[in-house]
Amino acid sequence: MNVISAGLLAGFGMAAVMGVGELLGLVKINLPRVDGEFFFKDRFGKPITYLLGLVIHLGTSICFAVGYFLFRRYGVPHLPWLGAGLLWAIVLWLAFGLTVSPVTGSGWFGSKAGKWTWFELLITHCAYGLIVSLCL
């Protein structure tokens, strides 16, 4: 599978885990929704804002798949796919929790959204890392 397809599949997979988790009341931060609200506020209504956020999320998912490809090729070429995927997930989770989450107003690792949000974000980033690793 090529890198773009892997990024799209992993991005959709992560969004699906977040969407189902949100519907079940288990997830407080849904990244496509957060992306849409951060960039577009309430200009277009909730469904359009979510779809625009999903486009942003998928774009970043492709970029991070390229990053994973380089990470895998030059950083940890001999690590099994499972270990490489989980390690990449932790890298992305740390980057998100320390940069994006505070900038969007959610606090460090989403702490303003709830006590266990850091764990929700870790699980959803693991879903992304494992899918992209399996695809590449």
* Model confidence pLDDT, tens digit, residues 43-84: 999 999 999 999 999 999 999 999 999 999 999 889 999 999
CA gap 114, 41 in Å, rounded: 21
Answer left, alpha or beta for residue 109, where phi above 0 means left and psi between -120 and 50 means alpha. left
Alpha-carbon distances, residue 95 vs 14, 26, 101 (angstroms) = 16, 22, 9
To the nearest whole percent, how much of the chain has pLDDT over 70?
Answer: 100
- Mention every residue, 6+ apart, whose C-beta is less than 8 A from residue 92: 64, 125, 128, 129
Average confidence score pLDDT of the chain: 95
pLDDT at 42 over 90: no
pLDDT at 90 over 90: yes
pLDDT at 2 over 90: yes
pLDDT attached to residue 25: 92
pLDDT attached to residue 77: 87
**74 neighbors 15 (Cβ within 8 angstroms):** no
* Model confidence pLDDT, tens digit, residues 109-118: 999 999 999 9
CA 117, distance to chain mean position in Å, is: 13
> The pTM is what?
0.92
SS3 (DSSP) at 115: coil
